[in-house]
Structure 1
Amino acid sequence: MFPSWNPTGNTISEDSDVVLDHSYCLKIYTCEDVISATKNIISYISDIFHVKMKHFSFDYRNLSIEKSQLVMDSFFQQPIQRFKLSEQNTIDAFKSDALTYILQSQKTTSFFDLYENPSPGFTCDFEQMETVPELMDFSYSHWTTFQQILKLKNENLWFSRSNFLQTDFEILIMKWRGGWTPNWKALLIEFNEDVNIDTCVKGDFIQLPSNSDCWNKTQVYRNFPIELNRFIMRYKTAKEPINFIGYHILRSDGRIATIAVDNNKIGWFQIQSDDKDEQMVLSFHPRVFDLV
């Protein structure tokens, strides 16, 4: 089928010693039935290397709604690990129908990366999605609602460029302290206004030392019945050091949630594990370092 297959390759590396990834590109010249031809090449390569398709990236800007639906129906007959929807321009109402169909028909198990910037007024019912990806990363999340955050069941949610405000963050914190536990474990939000985390919490607090001990659960448990454990974290980057303030919030049932804000815009809400011997963690995102 491909007697002289010699794909171009690129090596992505952090430095000369550490290889992070390999990527290969193969140009396919075909007839008008691109979808069928692409399915054939994927099937052919899968048979050669005895692997199934794990990642799928889709840019539908030049496709009609019907073609977009055909692509989704053709390539999502079985779940895949990662799906990237790559369309970075604001779309019109015509494309909104296609986007809704794509969101609801994708079958992603691990990572769903949405680079789409939907038009104002766009909505989507997440409960209609075929699967619940472990992580949903939205580069433009201005169309998501606070009620959706309360109901989502994904383990990790990363919402950049949202319309959420400090009052939304305060409500999440109050609900947690009142006994509510979300279905997700980690939530990152880029707020639409500056957020002062010290005004998001009320009550007495203990200032933790600025070292690794501030991530030790024993230190937090020792401070009970004080619920609020304030910390300052310093993180070195290639551009400049990052300092941000956070709180470990201990409930009477022994559960701990960590909240933090960086650069007055990026907010975290992380539910820590129930294992008392595990260190507490905080999930990072490239948006924190202005990389996306």
Structure 2
Amino acid sequence: MSSEFPLFLLPMLVLNRILKLMTPFELVAISLCSKKSKMLCKSARSQMECRTGTNMFLLKFSSNKEIRLEFIYHMKIQWVFKIEWAPKRNQILPRKSLLRRFLSIFQKTPQEVHTTTFSQLGTNFIVPDWIPTEDTSEVSLKVFTSRDSGFADVNTFILYLSDVFNTRLTDFELHYHDFNREDNEKIVDFYFRNSENKKSLSSLSLVGAHPNASEDDELIDLILCRQEADCRLKLSMEHTSNFQFKTEYFRNKPILVELHDSSWISFDQFLEMESYTIALYRSIFKFTDFKLLIEKWNSGWTPKWRVIMVESSEEVNIDECVSELVVLGRFSEVQVERSEVKDEYSDGGVSQRIIYKIHRSDKAVGQIFVENSFMFSLYVMIDSEKNSRLYPQVFLS
């Protein structure tokens, strides 16, 4: 009795259902079997719940390159292609691959079964084994390349995955210390400059392996002036004391700006930043800055951002701050509401949050959180009628 299963002879509704139940790695493996198999995999992924179900499509560009995918229908697991360099093909130990088993299913006779133990992805990428390594939060698969692949080669791989999963690469993480200045410029120009044939990526993360030297700051300045990210801009690095703020860095008004060292941004510069959400760690802001911010908000000033999270350089006594403003006649009793939340964690740690809601006469609301006296957050809600359903805890008393 034949053990072959006629997968491609199933009705399309049944086949699509089966393909959607397969893992991303299995789907890629099947797509490599033939042009027909790739077309069917693309068809399964073209349905609305699949097209809108991509949480992450990230390329980590460092000495160890990774492609990370995350889908809402595979819970919170990340599917990781780990790209490694092997100078010669015979240095990649062949094992029986998952793709080979798939091929045995699709072929009509045993004689037609493909005998190779390698799967070819693009021109320079080889998958010797489709059995992944599993972790609690990710599943990874090794992909080897016969040469030290540059951005153009990796992009060929990216385009193949984009085609199969019907989604585009959105996030890019560049470990700039792993490359020289010229390579960094080429990488940024390739992925973060609009051209006739390719749109710039929307999110950029720059990661430093060690504190910057002066030449590193110059490189970061060059990258930030050239990039065109408009969704997320994240800087995970430690600048020198000479690094200077430029409005040009944020000219594309990214939805989220996250700076892990914001000591180079003054309070006045911060007030003029334009983004929906801004997260500043290791800031130089002081207690008096936050008191001024609250007073400005209450007096009718509306910032260009809507949510901020700032790590203060000194303790912020929010009760003292509000009390001083009340004594000065800046608030009425109706305007200000206070609450407090304490969270206890399994490791014995405790987090204390003091929350203030400041209601303005124009129906706008500012909700302030101060966590453990150093993390200051402000949520700015402009239109109470429009936002009351989204933020009932803010607008409903």
Q: Same fold (TM over 0.5)?
A: yes
Q: Aligned AA for 1:172? A: L
Contact 2:326–2:332, Cα closer than 8 Å, also in 1: no
Q: Among residues 210, 222, 230, which one is paired with 2:338 in the alignment?
A: 230
Residue 248 of structure 1 aligns with which residue?
357
- SS in structure 2 at match of 1:46: helix
Contact 1:105–1:129, Cα closer than 8 Å, also in 2: no
Q: Aligned AA for 2:326? A: G
Query: How far did 1:181 drift?
Result: 0.4
Contact 1:88–1:117, Cα closer than 8 Å, also in 2: no
Larger radius of gyration between Structure 1 and Structure 2: 2
Per residue, is there more helix in 1 or in 2?
Answer: 2
Equivalent residue runs for 1:1-292 within 5 Å? 1-2=120-121, 4=127, 6=129, 8-13=132-137, 22=138, 24-31=140-147, 34-77=150-193, 78-129=199-250, 131-201=252-322, 202-203=325-326, 226-239=334-347, 240-276=349-385, 277-278=388-389, 279=391
Query: How far did 1:199 drift?
Result: 2.0
- Cα displacement string for residues 73-96 of structure 1 (whole angstroms, at most 9, x for unaligned residues): 011232334322121421011111
Query: How far did 1:119 drift?
Result: 1.4
Query: How far did 1:43 drift?
Result: 2.5
Aligned CA distance change for structure 1 residues 23 and 272 (closer, same or farther; 3 Å): farther
Aligned CA distance change for structure 1 residues 137 and 152 (closer, same or farther; 3 Å): same
Q: Could you list the runs of 5+ residues in structure 1 that have no partner in the other structure?
A: 14-21, 205-222, 283-292
In structure 1, distance between residues paired with 2:384 and 2:333 = 19
How many aligned positions are there?
256
Residue 11 of structure 2 aligns with which residue?
none
TM-score by length of 2: 0.58
Contact 1:90–1:116, Cα closer than 8 Å, also in 2: yes
Aligned CA distance change for structure 1 residues 147 and 88 (closer, same or farther; 3 Å): farther
- SS in structure 1 at match of 2:231: strand
In structure 2, distance between residues paired with 1:36 and 1:130 = 27
In structure 2, distance between residues paired with 1:28 and 1:75 = 22
- SS in structure 2 at match of 1:107: coil
- Cα displacement string for residues 115-148 of structure 1 (whole angstroms, at most 9, x for unaligned residues): 1111112123133545221111111111122122
Query: How far did 1:262 drift?
Result: 1.3
TM-score by length of 1: 0.77
Aligned CA distance change for structure 1 residues 238 and 275 (closer, same or farther; 3 Å): farther
In structure 1, distance between residues paired with 2:381 and 2:134 = 38
- SS in structure 2 at match of 1:234: strand
Query: How far did 1:178 drift?
Result: 1.3
**Identity across the alignment (%):** 23
Q: Aligned AA for 1:227? A: Q
Query: How far did 1:27 drift?
Result: 4.2
In structure 1, distance between residues paired with 2:270 and 2:367 = 17
